Amino acid sequence: MITIKDVFEDYKQLNNIYDSTETEALTLLVISEICKLSKASIKAFPERELSAEQGEELKAILTRLQTGEPVQYILGETEFYGLPFKVNPSVLIPRPETEELVEWILSVCGGHFAENSEQFEGTMLDIGTGSGCIAISLKKNLPNAQVSAVDISEPALQTAKVNAVLNKVEINFIHSDILDWEAQTAQFKMYNLIVSNPPYVTLYDKQQMHTNVTDHEPHNALFVPEDDPLLFYNTIADFALLKLPAKGLLFFEINENYGNQTVEMLQKKGFTDIILKQDMSGRDRMIKAATR
């Protein structure tokens, strides 16, 4: 019979792809999900024997992980801002830094529009929603808000709709290409707040990225032309100028290499109260701006 300790030994083969800390975390996550055991229990009882079925499933997952396939896609789910989300290759895997963006928005809504976040009753739009993680997390924590979410990908929207049901929230989903918003403006109304984590990875950035991202996650949600890295930010900023009222708020997750350029672009377009914020790793990662 295979034991938990045996699985950890087998999964050390992943050290060719990940560092040892990541490998251990992956192994712990997979065992927890497949065997329905708490991580504390796994660590406390390494000699625990697993069933033959569990052993075979863990080996099959190891084979897939060795190709660089993200564990979240293999398991079909992940957690974001304390909520469960289904994920698949049609959507990006939610990142911790995006949780920081959500946290920032919630803290601002508690002071900019209302005495606390739950009193916020305004309208919000998430552009490039993917799995729906930003829109759904905001709606879950701002129950009186009217939240809409747009994406160019129909499969992504289907995944986001599943996640909205899973988390028991109502989101207005819109299938549209934000780069062509002027031809589709009737689909959109006025919003108090617009947020976007759009594609921002250049070809240069791609060379620095792990292949488990570049080989498996959707390219249309990741990459922009090398000669136009602010393509989506420019377009969304113009859209926001038309669809936000005075003192409306625009939030972006950004490419850390283009923080100052993004701020300058927003200043030139007339946005005010612009704040460039770093994530917990000390990287320029998000921006808040207001309309006049």
Cβ within 8 Å of residue 244, ≥6 positions away: 190, 191, 192, 193, 194, 250, 291
C-alpha to C-alpha distance for 157 and 91, rounded to whole angstroms: 9
Identity of the residue numbered 237: A
CA distances to 36, 48, 128 from 195, in Å: 36, 47, 9
The pLDDT tens digits for 31-44 are 999 999 999 999 99
Residues 6 or more apart whose Cβ sits within 8 Å of residue 240: 194, 248, 250, 291
Using one digit for the tens of pLDDT, what is the confidence trace for 281-291? 999 999 999 99
Cβ 156 vs Cβ 72: under 8 Å: no
**Tens of pLDDT, residues 61-113:** 999 999 999 999 999 999 999 999 999 999 999 999 999 999 999 999 976 77
pLDDT tens digit sequence for 126-156: 999 999 999 999 999 999 999 999 999 999 9
- Cβ atoms of 231 and 224 closer than 8 Å: yes
Percent of the chain with pLDDT over 70: 91
Specify the pLDDT at position 200: 83
Instruction: Give me the pLDDT at residue 219, please.
Output: 66
pLDDT in tens, 15-73: 999 999 999 999 999 999 999 999 999 999 999 999 999 999 999 999 999 999 999 99
Q: String of b and e for 264-276 (b: at least 16 CB within 10 Å)?
A: ebbeeeebeeeeb
Q: How far apart are CA 237 and CA 233, in angstroms?
A: 6
